[in-house]
């Protein structure tokens, strides 16, 4: 399988290059040149298959020209070590719980796959890969924990000072070993910009093997399609059309759902739900795509003003904006609306985190206008990860899951830095 750059379809590279480079030299995102379509026969068998078996088939269809059967099995087994239960919340409304991994957020799927694939691709090299990650919270913890102790890979995490919850911070600032955390005096978009600049810097790239593990990396992005296949296969077969609502920030997760659709999974409709960082819903509702400065919200892992995977949405629909806008409906919500939804659903017996609640709201609004659907919203984080918000909004005390509680005992260790590229570059040069 080859990958092309969304900025130049003639620029094509193999899997190893796409994964190690992360971003194409022209700043485009890598996309598979061909998207395999699964057979009708296989799609019909999904309900009887386990999550892992589905993983072997889907990853096999995508990567069997590059990886051996054994490697594909090893990758999937390393990634899918936890379940993604589909929980009924209301009639025809299901929560896909993606938070049963080590850091209790859906990013564990992509991070585990990515770390395993990178170490496979680097096995025969004696160079050190430096993974640069900008995070608004969950990416940092998932990537740090996914890569912890992996040979030949060092992870450098950039996070905005004071904009990440204490518990999130603890999950990537206390690990040590091959994980370094840089506390940036700025917002998430500054962190993202510093990382992008480093990838484009000639000096640095001559000396260092820099890569990304953000959702722009195909190794993070692609495996996320797996749980769409799995969730779809677990829905009742009742003749209703299927909608997936995805609480979105950088739009990697929803783009992976659209990839599953392009591979033949008959998802009828996507709902892109955001907080007030609503660049994409505005675009889907007819405005021009216009990046903006990010705004802080209670669903802070989605506080993204310039969603980096947006070009993938267009590419997945062959740059046909009309089809994209028909197939993906955009909705956005204030913090207050989010809290009201959390309270309403809690009364019905289900606790949502603020991100999942945004997805739930999008799905509810879509289904109110469209009959004959059953829908799934992606519950992207455990409510305990956003404990303060959830406890305040729902007026209750949450049990912190043991895995999370254990992080709180660790000691925070960071390097403080401004949001100026010169300073960051100086730091990286210190690694030559």
Ligand X SMILES: *Cc1c(COP(=O)(O)O)cnc(C)c1O
Q: Which residues are near ligand X by CB under 6 A?
A: 105, 107, 138, 215, 247-253, 301-302, 355, 380-381
CB nearer to ligand X: give 22 or 247: 247
User: Least distance to ligand X from the beta carbon of 338, Å?
Assistant: 12
CB nearer to ligand X: give 56 or 377: 377
User: Least distance to ligand X from the beta carbon of 303, Å?
Assistant: 10
Q: Which residue is nearest to ligand X (CB)?
A: 138
User: Least distance to ligand X from the beta carbon of 20, Å?
Assistant: 21
CB nearer to ligand X: give 56 or 221: 221
CB nearer to ligand X: give 107 or 196: 107
CB nearer to ligand X: give 215 or 233: 215
The β-bridge relationship of strands 269-274 and 179-184 is unpaired
| Spatial separation of the C-alpha atoms in residues 157 and 237, rounded to whole Å | 44
Greatest alpha-carbon span in the chain: 60
User: Least distance to ligand X from the beta carbon of 334, Å?
Assistant: 17
* CA distances to 29, 67, 253, 264 from 36, in Å: 19, 15, 19, 9
CB nearer to ligand X: give 67 or 300: 300
| Spatial separation of the C-alpha atoms in residues 261 and 264, rounded to whole Å | 5
Q: How many residues does the chain have?
A: 432
Phi first, then psi, for residue 186 (nearest 5°) are: 175, -165
User: Least distance to ligand X from the beta carbon of 425, Å?
Assistant: 26
User: Least distance to ligand X from the beta carbon of 10, Å?
Assistant: 28
CB nearer to ligand X: give 171 or 301: 301
CB nearer to ligand X: give 12 or 351: 351
The residue behind tokens 């799927």 is 109
User: Least distance to ligand X from the beta carbon of 136, Å?
Assistant: 7
User: Least distance to ligand X from the beta carbon of 380, Å?
Assistant: 3
| Spatial separation of the C-alpha atoms in residues 266 and 242, rounded to whole Å | 8
């Amino acid at each position: 399988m080859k990958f092309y750059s969304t900025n130049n379809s003639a620029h094509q590279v193999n899997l190893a290059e796409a994964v190690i480079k992360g971003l194409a030299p022209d700043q485009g995102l890598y996309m598979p040149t061909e998207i395999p379509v699964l057979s009708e026969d296989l799609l019909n068998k999904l309900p009887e298959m386990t999550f892992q078996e589905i993983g072997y088939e889907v990853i096999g269809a995508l990567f069997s020209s590059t990886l051996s059967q054994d490697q594909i099995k090893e990758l999937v087994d390393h990634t899918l070590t936890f379940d993604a239960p589909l929980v009924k919340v209301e009639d025809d409304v299901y929560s896909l719980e993606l938070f049963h991994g080590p850091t209790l957020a859906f990013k564990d799927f992509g991070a585990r796959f990515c770390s395993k694939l990178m170490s496979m691709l680097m096995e025969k090299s004696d160079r050190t890969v430096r993974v640069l990650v900008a995070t608004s919270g969950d990416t940092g913890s998932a990537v740090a924990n996914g890569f912890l102790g992996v040979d030949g890979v060092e992870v450098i995490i950039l996070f905005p000072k004071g904009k990440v919850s204490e518990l999130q911070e603890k999950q990537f600032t206390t690990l040590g070993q091959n994980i370094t955390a840089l506390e940036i005096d700025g917002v998430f978009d500054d962190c993202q910009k510093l990382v992008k600049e480093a990838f484009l810097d000639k000096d640095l790239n001559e000396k260092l093997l820099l890569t990304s593990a953000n959702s722009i990396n195909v190794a993070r992005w692609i495996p996320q399609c797996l749980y769409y296949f799995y969730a779809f296969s677990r829905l009742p077969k009742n003749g209703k059309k299927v909608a997936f609502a995805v609480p979105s920030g950088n739009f990697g997760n929803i783009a992976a759902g659209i990839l599953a659709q392009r591979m033949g999974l008959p998802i009828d409709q996507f709902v892109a739900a955001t907080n007030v960082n609503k660049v994409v819903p505005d675009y889907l509702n007819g405005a021009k795509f216009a990046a903006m400065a990010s705004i802080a919200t209670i669903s802070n892992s989605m506080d993204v003003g310039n969603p980096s995977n947006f070009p993938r949405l267009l590419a997945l629909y062959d740059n046909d904006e009309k089809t994209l806008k028909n197939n993906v409906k955009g909705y956005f919500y204030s913090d207050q609306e989010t809290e009201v939804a959390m309270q309403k659903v809690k009364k019905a017996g289900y606790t949502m985190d603020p991100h999942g609640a945004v997805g739930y709201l999008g799905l509810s609004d879509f289904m109110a206008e469209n009959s004959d659907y059953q829908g799934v919203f992606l519950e992207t984080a455990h409510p305990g990860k956003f404990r303060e918000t959830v406890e305040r909004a729902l007026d209750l005390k949450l049990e912190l899951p043991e895995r999370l509680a254990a992080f709180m005992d660790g000691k925070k260790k960071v390097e403080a830095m401004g949001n100026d590229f010169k300073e960051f570059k100086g730091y990286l040069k210190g690694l030559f």
